[in-house]
């Protein structure tokens, strides 16, 4: 069976995503004029978004990655965040932009922001492609976000369910029977 049979409907097409990411890149370019930010991607979900976002940013910049796990195989956060890959660079004095795929309960980013601030960056902001504000548990707000999404489990464009569907070029809502 093809992956496409697991998708209830397409929420954002490839073209819609591309123009939204271009828009976010332009805003960051404007806001960080004269600066040299470091983008810190939260693996693995960020990787498609971050690749496109970077190419929409016209600034000198660096990238780094962190990996955290809090989900296991489920569709809701376990609430416990573990760092499985740390930064490779010193971010002291730097303008950090955290790149996330989706801000859901906020537990992951709340933890990461605290962790990164301990390393004395000059500033920390968040860019996330998707925001599910209805599910927030921790007091986190994205500085830049692409779309607000409903409380449904979405996949594609880097976002997974049980490590699958990251390679879908669009965003789809997963059929609930896949994870129920």
Name the one range near Mg ion by CB under 5 A: 45-53, 86-94, 117-125, 162-170.
Answer: 45-53
SS3 180: coil
Q: Find the binder of ligand IMP among 24, 53, 77, 142 (CB under 6 A).
A: 77
Alpha-carbon distance 84 to 144, whole Å? 25
Interatomic CA distance for residues 143 and 27, integer angstroms = 11
> 32 or 157: whose CB is closer to ligand IMP?
157
User: Is 132 exposed, middle or buried, given 0-12, 13-18 or 19+ CB atoms closer than 10 A?
Assistant: buried
Contact characters 109-148, ligand IMP, x per CB under 6 A? ----------------------------------------
Bridge partners (DSSP) of residue 110 are none
Per CB under 5 A, 45 contacts Mg ion: yes
Output the smallest distance, CB 176 to ligand IMP, in A: 12
- Please tell me whether residue 106 binds ligand IMP under the rule CB under 6 A: yes
Token pair, residue 94, equals: 């730097």
Q: Given the complex with ligand IMP, which of 29 and 47 has the nearer CB atom?
A: 47
- Residue 57 interaction partner, one of Mg ion, ligand IMP, none, beta carbon < 5-8 Å per kind: none
Any idea which residue has 């409907």 for tokens?
A: 9
Q: Which two tokens stand for residue 54?
A: 């970077």
Give the integer Cα–Cα distance in Å for 124 and 109. Answer: 11
Contacting positions for Mg ion (CB under 5 A): 45, 101
Contacting positions for ligand IMP (CB under 6 A): 42, 45, 70-71, 77, 100-108, 153-155, 159
């Amino acid at each position: 069976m093809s992956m496409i049979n697991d998708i209830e409907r397409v929420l954002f097409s490839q073209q819609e995503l591309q123009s939204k990411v271009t828009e976010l890149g332009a805003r960051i370019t404007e806001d960080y004029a004269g600066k040299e930010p470091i983008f810190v991607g939260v693996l693995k979900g960020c990787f498609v978004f971050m690749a496109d976002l970077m190419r929409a940013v016209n600034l000198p910049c660096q990238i780094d990655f962190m990996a955290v796990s809090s989900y296991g195989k489920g569709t809701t956060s376990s609430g416990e965040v573990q760092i499985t890959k740390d930064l490779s660079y010193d971010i002291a004095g730097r303008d950090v932009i955290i790149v996330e795929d989706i801000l859901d309960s906020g537990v992951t980013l709340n933890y990461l922001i605290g962790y990164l601030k301990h390393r004395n960056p000059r500033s920390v902001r968040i860019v996330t492609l998707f925001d599910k504000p209805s599910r927030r548990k921790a007091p986190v707000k994205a500085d830049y976000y692409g779309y607000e999404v409903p409380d449904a489990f979405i996949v594609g464009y880097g976002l997974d369910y049980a490590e699958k569907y990251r390679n879908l070029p669009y965003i789809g809502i997963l059929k609930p029977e896949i994870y129920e």
